[in-house]
């Protein structure tokens, strides 16, 4: 299956990759749903990381969020992140559609990244939308505690991430759909494919009859539609695929 995956990658020119939290677990960032290690075992993200939860209890959001934040900000890209960046450099990858907010694709050098659930680089006031950088938000927390508040209207500042119940950024979702309408191979890495509306996106490739490769430890609702399912650790899988590529890159 690894050899076949390498062949599919080598013969494709418009690969689209969808990534989820599973690609970053080996960088030390817990995902939501992995048994035992997933965040879901510790908090209920549907409350803590929801738009209504944030409005009702912004302090709780920051209390829990700040415990996870250092692991995200200090994390380094994994072999899989580097692998995707190298595919982009070889001009065979159209885009990475990531559900992650950790910025690791960009840290690895990827440029064509659609951050469909936003990122932590900035935040905004929930009332007047005034923008603040992560550094400004951190300074406010240091000086005045949580939640950080807008200097104009004293309302909480929310990071620019999509919480459960928030609409997705329209333009990004449109770009993601377009990528899938034109791709010649879809690779899905480290996602349970249970979070909507992203979990609907692979249907575009399924309907077009495009080859789909899934790399995930657990089963996903799209396994039955996939050409290949690689149920091993993602870094290990990418390392093995790389060895079968015509011009393998040197893993970092
Ligand atoms: P998820 O937690 O629902 O699913 C992650 C999947 O990855 C699981 O099915 C698990 O089996 C698999 N997995 C974990 N580690 C793996 C490994 N080393 N090798 C192979 N498979 C592995 O994640 P999701 O589908 O991305 O949805 C959760 C939502 O929460 C998304 O919006 C996500 O972006 C967000 N989230 C993001 C981060 C981050 O930015 N790193 C972390 C946690 C949650």
Q: How far is the CA of 71 from the centre of ligand 1 (A)?
A: 15
Q: What are the beta bridge partners of residue 185? A: 15, 211
pLDDT at residue 36, rounded to an integer? 67
Select from 18, 22, 113, 233 the residue to mutate for testing ligand 1; criterion: most ligand atoms less than 8 Å from CB: 22
Element (H, E) at 94: strand 93-98
* 81 assigned to active site: no
Asked, as a colleague might, if the bond just before 147 is cis with ω within 30 of 0, I would say yes
- DSSP-assigned letter for residue 26: G
What domains are there in the chain, each with its CATH number? 1-27+77-117+168-252 (3.40.50.1220), 30-74+120-161 (3.30.1600.10)
pLDDT at residue 251, rounded to an integer? 66
pLDDT at residue 40, rounded to an integer? 67
pLDDT at residue 51, rounded to an integer? 92
pLDDT band at 197 (very low <50, low <70, confident <90, very high): confident
Task: Give me the helix-helix angle, 2-10 and 234-244, nearest 10°.
Answer: 60
Ligand 1 atom nearest the C-alpha of 231 is 20
- Nearest alpha carbon, ligand 1 atom 38: 21
Determine the average pLDDT of the residues in 195-199.
Answer: 88
Give the CA distances from residue 251 to residues 6, 108, 129, in Å, rounded to whole numbers and listed in that order: 16, 12, 42
pLDDT at residue 115, rounded to an integer? 97
Q: What is the pTM of this model?
A: 0.94
Ligand 1 atom nearest the C-alpha of 19 is 26
Ligand 1 atom nearest the C-alpha of 216 is 21
| Strand arrangement of the beta sheet that strand 118-125 belongs to | 131-133, 118-125, 157-161
Q: What are the beta bridge partners of residue 115? A: 98
Residue 32 has pLDDT above 80, yes or no: no
Select from 18, 24, 31 the residue to mutate for testing ligand 1; criterion: most ligand atoms less than 8 Å from CB: 31
Contact 221, 193 (CB under 8 A): yes
Ligand 1 residue neighbourhood (C-beta within 6 Å): 20-22, 24-26, 29, 31-34, 38, 99-102, 117, 190-192, 194-195, 216-218, 233-234
Among the listed residues 81, 105, 117, 203, the single catalytic one is 117
Ligand 1 atom nearest the C-alpha of 102 is 40
Residue 33 has pLDDT above 90, yes or no: no
Work out the mean pLDDT of the chain and round it to a whole number. 93
Residue 31 has pLDDT above 90, yes or no: no
Select from 30, 32, 118 the residue to mutate for testing ligand 1; criterion: most ligand atoms less than 8 Å from CB: 32
């Amino acid at each position: 299956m690894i050899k076949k995956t390498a062949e599919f990658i080598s013969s494709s020119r418009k690969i689209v990759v969808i990534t989820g939290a599973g690609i970053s677990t080996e960088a030390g960032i817990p995902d939501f749903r992995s048994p035992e290690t997933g965040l879901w075992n510790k908090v209920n993200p549907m409350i803590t990381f929801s738009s209504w939860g944030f409005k009702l209890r912004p302090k709780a959001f920051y209390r829990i969020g700040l415990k996870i934040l250092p692991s995200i900000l200090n994390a380094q890209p994994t072999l899989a992140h580097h692998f995707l960046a190298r595919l982009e450099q070889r001009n065979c990858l159209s885009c990475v559609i990531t559900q992650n907010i950790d910025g690791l694709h960009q840290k690895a050098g990827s440029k064509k990244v659609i951050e469909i659930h936003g990122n932590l680089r900035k935040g905004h006031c929930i009332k007047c939308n005034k923008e603040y950088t992560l550094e400004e938000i951190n300074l406010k927390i240091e000086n005045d505690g949580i939640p950080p508040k807008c200097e104009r209207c004293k309302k909480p500042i929310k990071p620019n991430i999509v919480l459960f119940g928030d609409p997705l950024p329209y333009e990004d979702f449109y770009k993601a759909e377009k990528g899938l309408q034109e791709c010649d191979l879809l690779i899905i890495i480290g996602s349970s494919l249970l979070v909507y509306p992203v979990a609907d996106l692979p249907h575009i490739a399924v309907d077009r009859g495009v080859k789909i490769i899934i790399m995930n430890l657990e089963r996903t609702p799209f396994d039955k539609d996939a050409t290949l399912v690689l149920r091993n650790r993602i870094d290990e899988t990418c390392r093995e695929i790389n060895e079968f590529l015509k011009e393998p890159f040197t893993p970092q």
